[in-house]
Amino acid sequence: MNGIVKYLITPPAAFLIVLCVTGFLSFLFTGLAFKNKKQSEESKEAYACGEDFQQHMIQPDYSQFFPFAFFFTILHVVVLVIATIPAVNMAVFGAALIYILGAIIGLFSLLRK
């Protein structure tokens, strides 16, 4: 009995159990879902906050956002990797310095105009 319980709480088995239970419940409660009998043409069109969706609407420009997001991501990954490197010997310290140097070069190339 103990071996079966250990197997059932492993992540893949637990995922499959939850997937099966939610699928069964979804199938079971499908009859309770609201279904509109008549679909109008307006319900098939895109909705943009109560306005008619047209191509002339302003499209946001993310050109300034992406470099900042990449900068943020690169710095956090560098900090995570450096913080988890064990301080065993100088070879590991040298590898960490090379990693930091590579991150600095990557950030300079990212922020280059």
Domain ranges (residues) in the chain: 1-30, 57-113
pTM: 0.41
Higher-confidence position of 74 and 48: 74
Q: Looking up tokens 């159990």, which residue turns up?
A: 17
Judged by DSSP in three states, 63 sits in coil
Rounded CA gap, 56 and 51, in Å?
12
Q: Which pLDDT tens digit goes with each residue over 63-113?
A: 778 878 888 888 888 888 888 877 777 777 788 888 888 888 888 887 776
